[in-house]
Amino acid sequence: MKPILYFLLLLLLTFDAMGSDITKISLTADEQTFLKAKKEITMCADPDWEPFEIINEHGEHIGIAADLIQLVAKRLNVHIRILPTKTWEETLALSKSKQCDIMSFVNQTPEREKWLIFTQPLLSDPNILITREEHPFVADLIGLDHESVVLPAGTAMLERMSKDFTNLKFIPVVSEPDAMKMVSEKKADMTVRSLIVAAYIIKKEGWFNLKISGQPQGYENHLRIGVIKEEPILRDILDKGIRTITPIEREAIINKHTGLVVKEGIDTKTVTLIVLGLLGVVGLIILWNYLLHRKVRLEVSKNLQIKDQLYQKAKQAEIGNLIANISHQWREPLSKLSSINLLNIAMIRTGQPIENGWLLEQSQKVEDTIDFMSHTMQNFLEFYKQSSVKADFSVYESIESSIAIIETKILDFGVHVVIEGDDSVLYGIKNEWMQVWLNLLNNSIKIFEERNIENPMIRIEISLERINFCDNGGGMDTSIEHNGLGHQMCQEIATKYGARLEFTNKDEGLCVRVVLR
């Protein structure tokens, strides 16, 4: 059963429409003479821009634009006849050749101003960036390099953005669904679409591998009626009709064509509070990240005063890489949180239904993402915490913590890490041994990157007497130090605890054996 709120919106729309027949729109004598002589107005429209407008198999113009324009026509007491087309390019051609008096629902652009003048907006709607789920959040299109953007040919967005962003590759297609499909199938990196259209098509087509990845500022849709330049009086008449449309009427028409109604059990106020809560969480996370980075810098400054200068200088050199790793690991979770938040905003603005089950699912995603970030930061803090206290610790857990610190780098290079054997206990300062594990892992990953190794693997074997780190990187010159602490420093840390490192090149790659006893 439809909710009472939606019923009232429709009732208000019906009542207002009935009242509009009585309320006369004031037209000048010249405007009345023009309409009397004109008899009918011909209109061209986009045949495939659902839910804004389509031309169905019967040649009928239906959708949000059709209802808004028919409301204007009814109040002006004019007849508007649609000229059916099959493509947007055909629509543009008819308009340019002056075969139709008006074009419905178009953005005003310099190119279109060559043959059209424009009414005030019938509807304003933001454009958003749509990418696949794995794509990071896009704060600024200028920062992207050679990414592909797919847009319908002849649209205002393609005209404007291809001039403004020469750093991007633009791919024209026939229709909106074609653009979304190419992004879904990894044939293009992103598309820029109306918020209402994007939310509607993603839901309709089931393209749930897509997400909202940002909103380019200054590229909103202000959808107007375009009128041929030869008839400015018609533009003025249509403007008078457009001014009579109320916000309630626009909302009801949008709800009618998108199927987006407010469900019982959750109201807009509740959703708004949830979205504000999510924004607060994101803000706290960003603040936490900033404060933590500042704390790390202070700790590094103190470490420079420690007597063991060689060890501390090496650790300082590694700090930049590790902070980059943490920032890299947080970039994707922050993008995910932002995407969930933008989707909620989109659903609120379009009046889309938000069911309790869906809301719980999104909240769980937020909770899981925050848990991941908290776990990552705990490993980071533990690693950099100054300590001179020796204690027993689990070898397996210390290696797992080291892997977690560079997990994103491991995933980026597709490295498969396997830990085998029985856990062992070491006595010493855990942070120092984690430096050894990180160095051995990073050196293997660097070799994988340099040699473009297919199916890279690191196998770690733990026993009471030794710990082996073996990779399939093809071996290496053990006399050369790579980024990180270096093998010599690893040897010094191991020697400090009565252990040693042995390096052996095998058939597949290098094996580093940490001999404990």
Domains of the chain: 4-122+222-258 (3.40.190.10), 127-214 (3.40.190.10), 268-384 (no CATH), 391-515 (3.30.565.10)
Tell me the average pLDDT across 271-290: 65
Q: Could you write out the DSSP letters of every residue in 436-500?
A: HHHHHHHHHHHHHHHHT-SS-EEEEEE-SSEEEEEE-S----TTS--SSS-HHHHHHHHHHTT-E
pTM higher than 0.75, yes or no?
A: no
From the CB of residue 97, how many other CB atoms can be counted at a distance below 10 Å? 9
Q: In the beta sheet, which residues pair with residue 152?
A: 173
Mean pLDDT, rounded, of the chain? 80
Q: Residue 438: pLDDT above 80?
A: yes
Torsion of CA 208, 137, 322, 510, to 10 degrees: 50
The answer to whether 52 and 196 have CB atoms below 8 angstroms apart is yes
Amino acid at 432: E
Cα distance between residue 279 and residue 275, in whole Å = 6
List the structure tokens of 251. Answer: 């909302």
Residue 197 has what pLDDT?
81
For 44-58, the pLDDT digits (tens) are 999 988 888 999 998
For 65-90, the pLDDT digits (tens) are 999 999 999 999 999 999 999 998 99
Q: Could you write out the DSSP letters of every residue in 334-357?
A: HHHHHHHHHHHHHHHHTT----HH
117 pLDDT band, cuts 50/70/90, is very high
The answer to whether 400 and 418 have CB atoms below 8 angstroms apart is no
Residue 324 has what pLDDT?
60
**Among 249-253, 275-279, 363-367, which range has the highest average pLDDT?**
249-253
458 pLDDT band, cuts 50/70/90, is very high
For 465-480, b/e burial (b = at least 16 CB within 10 A) is ebbbbbbbbebbeeee
Which helix (DSSP H) or strand (DSSP E) does residue 192 occupy?
Answer: strand 190-194
Q: Residue 26: pLDDT above 80?
A: yes
Residue 2 has what pLDDT?
42
Q: Residue 179: pLDDT above 60?
A: yes
- Angle between the N-to-C axes of helices 309-349 and 430-451, in degrees from 0 to 180, rounded to the nearest 10: 70
1 pLDDT band, cuts 50/70/90, is very low
